Amino acid sequence: MPTPPRQLHLNAFLMSTGHHEASWRLPESDPLASTRIEHYQNLARTAERGKLDSIFFADSPVLFGEVGRRPAGKLEPTVLLTAIAGATQKIGLIATASTTYNEPFNLARRFASVDWVSGGRAGWNVVTTAGPDAARNFGVDDQPAHAVRYERAAEFIDVAQKLWDSWEDDAVPADKAAGVWGDSTRIRAIEHEGKHFRVRGPLNVPRSPQGHPLIVQAGSSDNGKKLAAHYAEAVFTAHQTLADGQAFYADLKARTVAAGRDRDSIKILPGIVPVIGSTEAEALRLERELDELIKPEYAREQLAKTLRLAPEDLPLDRQLPADLPSEDDIEGAKSRYTLIVELARREHLTVRQLIGRLGGGRGHRTFSGTPEQVADAIQDWFDAGAADGFNIMPPVLPSGLEVFVDQVVPILQRRGLFRTEYTASTLRGHYGLERPVNRFAGAPARELTSIGSGF
């Protein structure tokens, strides 16, 4: 039987008024959209109309950046997903949650709950959370070391997956005649004892529709790729050039196979910020209008923080200083630091020019053109072995998502590169991934009558 043609996976990365930092200043933008549930519900419906695989919300347990620069307040994303679940039917729902500032039981329960509420559409973007500001919100003077954060993350995911498996699929017979709701022999304590966590279990939520919510990961450092190779099923990444995208794709697929997994069990989705116009000139004009709304004093302060410099060390009309900190000295967001420095060096950008390039997508690839040109750019990377799909990051919302869905998606569909209808009802189904087998199925279960008092 012939193998079906390979098709793209498309995720919409949604951020308040859009990914361009000046999008909130446009006349048509709602600067308070980030706290309006109707805004996100409408965006989700638009993405679902385009048959996209999923939508995604980033998050951090800290008030990030200068609040004068762009909308900074964020709703807690798993709460947001439950409200969106009721307004949609098929679209996958992915939220970020930190393994550094949470506990496995709480997050395992939260994402299993979202999976139940949505009928099997939940995904967890695993992050390790860099930066001392977040640490101080949890009574810690500074962030744990990079390697320690990733070591904790690996054990955290392992514990969460054990908890998701602590109920077998047939653990709830709900037999009214026999008076038996649950079968205690099909529910087990996981008795995990590791370096970072000691968790008895079981989870207090039955095994969810997907078995395990989809695991997403976004770190591109060496430790990030090691974590992804063992656990991730989708990876959000940032690359400026096709060659960099191809190298990352080949490396991560090889690492995944070396970890004992099928190379197709992990989907790699680089970010792209599409600025779309009816002509190329119109698209470039839209990009220029947005860039002219950037306030350079705010942007320079954030760039200086990323580069571990003082703002006065970055004159706007000069290139980056020659003596920047090495990547080895960076404990947070290593891969993004490297991407920014390499972009500035490769294209000989001044600080002002670099700020403009980062203003649209914070290091993700920005592409300006017609719908046909955007579709070509997506297909080029897909065909060249640099992507399994893309993380679509509209510069302005809702208009940027609407034009992508209404004008770019139909082109991809006509080329046979993207679905015209959903063929699955779960997020795993959209990504072509199997439902995980319960690791404890058939194993002896300890008696659970002593777990919990019930009061």
Which residues define the annotated binding site for FMN?
59, 96, 146, 150, 220-221
What is the spatial distance between Cα 179 and Cα 187, in angstroms, rounded to a whole number? 18
Do 316 and 47 form a contact (C-beta atoms < 8 A)? no
What is the spatial distance between Cα 386 and Cα 324, in angstroms, rounded to a whole number? 29
Q: Under DSSP, is residue 216 helix (H, G, I), strand (E, B) or coil? A: strand
Q: What is the b/e burial string over 302-312, where b = at least 16 CB atoms within 10 angstroms of the residue's CB?
A: bbbebbebeee
What is the spatial distance between Cα 449 and Cα 451, in angstroms, rounded to a whole number? 6
For residue 379, the surrounding DSSP H or E stretch is helix 371-383
Q: What is the DSSP letter of 409?
A: H
DSSP 114-167: HHHHHTS-EEEEEE---SHHHHHTTT-SSPPPHHHHHHHHHHHHHHHHHHHTSB
Between β-strands 234-237 and 365-369, what pairing exists: parallel, antiparallel or unpaired?
A: unpaired
What is the spatial distance between Cα 220 and Cα 227, in angstroms, rounded to a whole number? 10
Look-up: residue for tokens 């949470």? Answer: 102
What is the spatial distance between Cα 413 and Cα 217, in angstroms, rounded to a whole number? 27
Between β-strands 122-127 and 389-392, what pairing exists: parallel, antiparallel or unpaired?
A: unpaired
Q: Taking the CB of residue 138, how many other CB atoms lie within 10 A of it?
A: 13
- For the record, the structure tokens of 163 come out as 């908890």
- For the record, the structure tokens of 441 come out as 């199925």
Q: What is the DSSP letter of 95?
A: E
The reply to whether omega before 398 is within 30° of 0 (cis) is: yes
What is the spatial distance between Cα 158 and Cα 196, in angstroms, rounded to a whole number? 11
Do 398 and 389 form a contact (C-beta atoms < 8 A)? no
Of 393, 235, 287, the C-alpha closest to 26 is 287
Annotated binding site: 59, 96, 146, 150, 220-221
Torsion 266-398-357-285 (CA) sign? positive
Q: Please calculate the CA angle 286-290-295 and round it to the nearest 5 degrees.
A: 165
